[in-house]
Amino acid sequence: MARRKRGKPIHGWVILDKPYDLGSTQAVNIVRAIFGAQKAGHGGTLDPLATGLLPIALGEATKTVPYVMQGEKQYEFTVKWGEATDTDDVEGDVIATSECRPLEAEILAALPKFTGLISQIPPKFSAIKINGERAYDLARAGQEVSLKARDIQVDQLELVEICSKDAAKFTITCGKGTYIRSIARDLAQELGSVAHVTHLKRVKVGHFNQSQMISLEKLREISHSGAELSECSDILISVETALDDIPALAINQSEKNELKMGRELIPQGSISAITGEVVCLHEQTLIAICDCDGISLKPKRVFNIV
């Protein structure tokens, strides 16, 4: 006999405003417990010292996590000039100093070099695996960590404010795999100085933005009030929101049944104009993500949302 899953079958996305000094996995576990959900995951790690938007998937939304992780991300961050740390943020030990404090005009002139497709070496204190072990575990153990450069996409990098002669605030819009700590480190080097990140907040991931964020305190408050969190549409966002970039196709009951069984089907209506991935909906309920060749639909993710 199959073991019964613990928790409730709750499906959707919670856009958490992650607090400072809380790991992403810890945050997921807390939100899962608040909702009493059977299953949970997140759409892109935030460092414990970073704050802001952490998309948390509950139930069948976990099947759409890869689509969210591929989405565009936006951050706000503050850089402190003149001190480099071994972690490239405030958690680490100072390993280098510089008297150089870049001027606004110099910063603005350097920013274009950090936009577009650029090469970046991740921080040695990162979650990247080296021979099966996390880089940060090796670094903390005092082992030498050597990470290879990787290509990343930066769509926009802007100077927001010169906070003081020692600090400046920026915003960045970038793709998957971008380390903001490395951006700060490399920008300082380009400007003849050293630096580290003192504040980092994520404000956008894919189709999710900071207007949708909710704090742990607010979630707990609503939960303790006796309200059913899973019925609050402004808190639990629909699973298919993560798939807004993919064309949608309405299907009938018999087609729904075929896809639910994992079977390829030729739908009644013409789909000759559709190629690639397509989201199949029955009466506004997400049924499957399919591969479409203009003739048939081949299910690649089937959802069990009541």
Render pLDDT for 183-192 as a digit per residue (tens, 0 to 9).
Answer: 999 999 999 9
pLDDT band per the 50, 70, 90 thresholds, residue 306 = confident
Stretch 274-284: mean pLDDT: 93
Same domain, 147 and 236: no
Catalytic residue among 17, 21, 47, 166: 47
Same domain, 185 and 104: yes
1 within a domain of the structure (yes/no) = no
CA distance readout (Å), 18 to 6, 55, 67, 69, 200: 25, 9, 21, 17, 11
Residues ≥6 apart with Cβ < 8 Å to 91: 49, 85, 125
Q: Which residues of 55-78 are buried (b: 16+ CB within 10 A; e: fewer)?
A: bbbbbbbbbbbebbbebebbbbbb
Contact (Cβ atoms closer than 8 angstroms) between residue 201 and residue 78: no
130 vs 71 pLDDT, higher one: 71
Model confidence at 130: pLDDT above 60 = no
Model confidence at 1: pLDDT above 50 = no
Q: What's the mean pLDDT when you consider all of the chain? A: 91
Last residue of a domain, one of 205, 225, 260: 205
Same domain, 228 and 270: no
Residue count (the chain): 306
Same domain, 80 and 172: yes
Same domain, 105 and 220: no
The string of pLDDT tens digits covering residues 72-123 is 999 999 999 999 999 999 999 999 999 999 999 999 999 999 999 999 988 7
Model confidence at 134: pLDDT above 70 = no
Number of domains in the chain: 3
User: Does the active-site annotation cover 244?
Assistant: no
4 within a domain of the structure (yes/no) = no
Contact (Cβ atoms closer than 8 angstroms) between residue 12 and residue 58: yes
Rounded Cα–Cα distance for residues 53 and 92 (Å) = 24
**CATH number of the domain to which 258 belongs:** 2.30.130.10
Stretch 198-213: mean pLDDT: 96
Last residue of a domain, one of 205, 231, 265: 205
**pLDDT value of residue 302:** 97
The string of pLDDT tens digits covering residues 247-270 is 999 999 999 999 999 999 998 888
Same domain, 134 and 177: yes
147 within a domain of the structure (yes/no) = yes
294 within a domain of the structure (yes/no) = yes
Same domain, 195 and 183: yes
**pLDDT value of residue 270:** 82
Last residue of a domain, one of 217, 240, 263: 240
Same domain, 100 and 187: yes
Same domain, 60 and 97: no
Same domain, 80 and 186: yes
Same domain, 105 and 149: yes
Range of the domain at 137: 73-205
Which tokens in the block code for residue 294?
């203009």
Model confidence at 223: pLDDT above 90 = no
163 within a domain of the structure (yes/no) = yes
2 within a domain of the structure (yes/no) = no
Same domain, 88 and 66: no
**CATH number of the domain to which 170 belongs:** 3.30.2350.10
pLDDT band per the 50, 70, 90 thresholds, residue 138 = low
Model confidence at 68: pLDDT above 90 = yes
Percent of the chain with pLDDT over 90: 78
Contact (Cβ atoms closer than 8 angstroms) between residue 265 and residue 303: no
37 within a domain of the structure (yes/no) = yes
Rounded Cα–Cα distance for residues 172 and 186 (Å) = 14
44 within a domain of the structure (yes/no) = yes
